[in-house]
Amino acid sequence: MKQIKKVGIITGGGDCSGLNAVINGITKTAINKYGIEVIGYKRGYFGLYHNDFQVLDLKAVSGTMHEGGTMLKASNKDNLFNYRMQKSDGTYEYKDVSDVAVENMKKEGVDALIVVGGDGTLTSARDFWRKGIPVVGVPKTIDNDLPSTDVTFGYNTSLENIVDALDKIHTTAYSHDRVMVVEVMGRHTGWLALEGGIAGSADVILIPEIPYDIDKVVNKIKERQTQGKDFSIIVVSEGAKPVGGDVVVREIVEDSADSTRLGGIGEIVTKQIGERIENEVRYTNLAYIQRGGIASQFDREVGLRFGVKAVDLLMNEGSGCMVRLEGRSVTSVHLENVVGKGEMGETSEGGAKYVEADGEIVQAAKAIGITFGDE
- Active site amino acids: 143
The values of phi and psi at residue 206, to 5°, are: -115, 120
DSSP 82: S
The residues near 129 (Cβ < 8 Å, ≥ 6 apart) are: 135, 319, 320, 335
Coil, helix or strand at residue 115: strand
Half-sphere exposure of 63 (CA within 13 A, CB side): 2
Cβ atoms of 53 and 327 within 8 Å: the answer is no
- Number of Cβ within 10 Å of residue 111's Cβ equals 20
- How far is Cα 109 from Cα 136, in angstroms, rounded to an integer? 18
Cβ atoms of 200 and 163 within 8 Å: the answer is yes
Between strands 92-95 and 112-117, the pairing is unpaired
By residue count, the chain amounts to 375
Longest CA–CA span in the chain (Å) reads: 72
- How far is Cα 15 from Cα 75, in angstroms, rounded to an integer? 9
Q: What is the DSSP track for 175-189? A: HHT-EEEEEE--TT-
Alpha carbon distances (Å) from 90 to 84, 87, 256: 12, 5, 18
Query: Which amino acid would we find at residue 317?
Result: E
- How far is Cα 111 from Cα 134, in angstroms, rounded to an integer? 7
- How far is Cα 149 from Cα 139, in angstroms, rounded to an integer? 8
- How far is Cα 118 from Cα 133, in angstroms, rounded to an integer? 19
**What torsion do the CA atoms of 156, 162, 166, 169 make, to the nearest 10 degrees?**
150
